[in-house]
Amino acid sequence: MTSRRQFLAASAAAGAFAAIPARAAKTSPTGFPYTEFEARIARRDFRDMTKDVLPTPCMVVDEALFQRNLKIMADQIKSTGISIRPHVKIHKSVDVAKIQLAHGGIGLTCATIAEAELMSNAGLKNVMWTKQPASKNGIERAVALSIKDPTFMFVIDDPIVFDWIEQAAIADSAHLKVLVSVDAGLSRQGIENGQPAVDLAQKIASSKHMQFEGIMAYAGAAAHTKTFEKRRVESAKDMAAPRETVELIKKSGLPVNIFTGGSTGTYNIDHENGLTELEVGSYVFMDTRYFVIGGKSDDTNYNDFAGALTVLTTVDSRRHPSQVTIDYGNKAGVRPTDKVKGMPWLDVSTQGAEYGLLKWKDGDRDLKLGDRVEIYCTVLDDSTSYYDRYYVARGDQIVDAWPIMGRAPGAAWR
């Protein structure tokens, strides 16, 4: 896996290529110097780099749609007064995170300590880790990051973890910013609402080495509930107990600075449930799991945000009727629930590690060998873990390349 440092080092090393005059570069019979592709990327030379020269399978971001998604979310937060702390698990990209912060993000949320280290080490502040550290590795890294970056914070949902991090904080004379994670209908993480959550908040607040920041309540089940009205009902139901918990903690004398949760599916609902900020992630790119949940004005299509990310793939064999083989296979995250952009009559099938299939019923709608097809993936955070780069496209022209990092649990910046 390429780390950000390696990526940057490679870029610097490849600076040597910049000295090669353009006329010395070998061009292929088709005009593009394919053998220099990586050197071109490293020195950010995107001349003549269109989608059709990219190595496939690869991830392509439609710049215009991506920008539109950011603007829609920014307008929403302005109109409701709620903040966003976007979740980077969706994209794992420092470049995307920086753009989200420029569009009103008050910080970032991360699913792993590796993502948090990546963002913080890139100089991005107010990073929140939304999962508690339960191993020595995780605890030591959370404490170390808190010392290095006092704006970093993380959640816990268990008094046992409280004891572990307190011991680590005492040993390192650290001061930690900590939130209590409570259950919001997902049965995945989060202490029981009511007194157990209040007691944990009090424990944190009474520690000399911790500051109680607030409550996290991620209603992940509500996020993908189909139809806007049902989602609204589910959200209110799942957030009722966390809301009561926040009130109980306040009554017990503790300020609750942060009440975080929310999702792309409930971004225009969450302000009704008392949250102070949203951990929205998928809105930047979108995936097929979200397309089908329905929006405010359409029960079957959720089109508040556009599909700005596709996997570009090549038809590399067509030896059988009504189907072609593509190079988007299991190793690239293909799923039968993926959708082909602009060609709804095609069904996506898995086949093997480097092979996927596109099948159709209508004989008139054939695909040719070498055709390029763009596919929307099903679950963004899973799919982006298979790739190490986004190509950013303005129309057909590639204008940037952003590394995807922090995908493994180890430290990403070394």
Ligand X SMILES: Cc1ncc(COP(=O)(O)O)c(C=O)c1O
Which residue in 60, 84, 90, 375 binds ligand X (CB under 6 A)?
A: 90
Which residue in 97, 165, 280, 348 binds ligand X (CB under 6 A)?
A: 280
Judged by beta carbon, residue 185 or residue 329, the one nearer ligand X is 185
CB of 265 to ligand X, least distance (A): 6
Which residue in 115, 183, 234, 279 binds ligand X (CB under 6 A)?
A: 279
Does 265 contact ligand X by CB under 6 A? yes
CB of 56 to ligand X, least distance (A): 26
Judged by beta carbon, residue 261 or residue 356, the one nearer ligand X is 261
Which residue in 264, 314, 323, 325 binds ligand X (CB under 6 A)?
A: 264
Which residue in 190, 274, 281, 333 binds ligand X (CB under 6 A)?
A: 281
CB of 155 to ligand X, least distance (A): 9
SS (H, E, C) the chain: CCCHHHHHHHHHHCHHHHCCCHHHCCCCCCCCCHHHHHHHHHCCCCCCCEHHHCCCCEEEEEHHHHHHHHHHHHHHHHHHCCEECCEHHHCCCHHHHHHHHHCCECCEEECCHHHHHHHHHCCCCCEEECCCCCCHHHHHHHHHHHHHCCCCEEEECCHHHHHHHHHHHHHCCCCEEEEEEECCCCCCCCECCCHHHHHHHHHHHHCCCEEEEEEEECCHHHHCCCCHHHHHHHHHHHHHHHHHHHHHHHHCCCCCCEEEECCHHHCCCHHHHCCCEECCCHHHCCCHHHHCCCCCCCCCCCCCCCCCEEEEEEEEEEEECCEEEECCCHHHCCCCCCEECCCCCCEEEEEECCEEEEECCCCCCCCCCCCEEEEECCCHHHHHHHCCEEEEEECCEEEEEEECCCCCCCCCCC
CB of 371 to ligand X, least distance (A): 31
Judged by beta carbon, residue 109 or residue 378, the one nearer ligand X is 109
Does 130 contact ligand X by CB under 6 A? yes
Total residues at the site for ligand X (CB under 6 A)? 14
Binding marks (x or -) toward ligand X, 205..244, rule CB under 6 A? Answer: -------------x-x--x---------------------
The site for ligand X (CB under 6 A) is made up of 87, 90, 109, 130, 218, 220, 223, 263-265, 279-282
